[in-house]
Amino acid sequence: IEKFNSLPGMHDIYFVMVALLLAFGFLQTSGTLLDTERPAVSVISPSMCPAIQVGDILVVKGADYEDIQIDDVIIYDVPDRAEIQLGGEKIVLEGEGDTEETPQGTLELIDVIPSRDRSMDQVVLELNGEKLKPDGNYPVEGRQYSSSTYNIGINYVTSLPYDNTPIVHRVVEKHDNSFETMGDANTGQIEFERNVTADQVYGKQVFKIPRLGLLKLVTMDLLGLQGDQPLVLDATPSC
C-alpha cells in the first residue's frame, strides 16, 4: 500500500475509488434502513441551485405525509401523462395501464417514450388491445393522426423523471392530502408540481454528498450514453 500511495496521483485515485464504493455500496444496502426504495439519488438538474448542485448525491429517508413540512426537499416520481383528442373527445390518461372507455373502444396508455427534445416525446397507446402506430411510429406530441377507424390528436405527453431519475424539489405548500413543490432556481412551478400526492414521494433529503455523482454524469456524457454527441460535454448541465 505504501508503494502504491507513493506513485504520483495514486493517493487521489485511491480516495475517489473508496468514496465511490462507499457511496454506491450505501445505495445498494440502505433501502431497508432508511425505509425507501430510493435511499440515494444523483442530482442531474440545476433546478435546485445553489443549495443543491448538479452531481450531488442526496441521501433520502422515507417519510410519512405528516412528517413532511414546508421547506423540506422531497424526492418524488411523476406518472406518465397523455392528453388526447379521440373522435372529438378530450381524454386524459395518467400512469401506465390507465384506460378510458370511448365510442371507438377501450383506449389504454401503455408507455411514454421520452426524447431529449421534449416536443418529440412519443406515446404508446392501445385501442381495443391494438397498438396505435399510424405512420409506422408511435404518435408524437402536437400532431394529428387519422385512419379509417379513428381520428386522434396528441395534445400533450410527458414522461418524468427523464432517465428514471426522481424529481428533487422543495415543498412550498402543504394541503390536506398533497404537496406543491418548486425548484429553488426555477422562476415558477411546472404543472406536475401543483399536486404531488404522498404515494409519489420516496422520502425527503437528510444530507448530501457534494458532487460525487458528477463523475458518473460526465462519464456518461462523454460516452454519448444519454442520447447526445460522444466526446463532447453537451448533456451535463451546471448551475
pLDDT tens digits for range 119-163? 788 999 999 999 999 888 999 988 999 888 889 999 988 887 666
pLDDT value for 106: 95
Residue with the three cell numbers 422531497: 74
- CA pair distance 179, 198, nearest whole angstrom: 8
Q: By the 8 A CB rule, do 137 and 154 touch?
A: no
pLDDT value for 2: 46
pLDDT value for 114: 82
pLDDT under 70: residue ranges of the chain? 1-34, 116, 161-164, 225-227
pLDDT tens digits for range 86-99? 988 999 998 889 99
Q: How many residues are present in the chain?
A: 239
- CA pair distance 47, 53, nearest whole angstrom: 9
- CA pair distance 10, 6, nearest whole angstrom: 7
Instruction: Tell me the three cell numbers of residue 152.
Output: 386522434
- CA pair distance 14, 100, nearest whole angstrom: 56
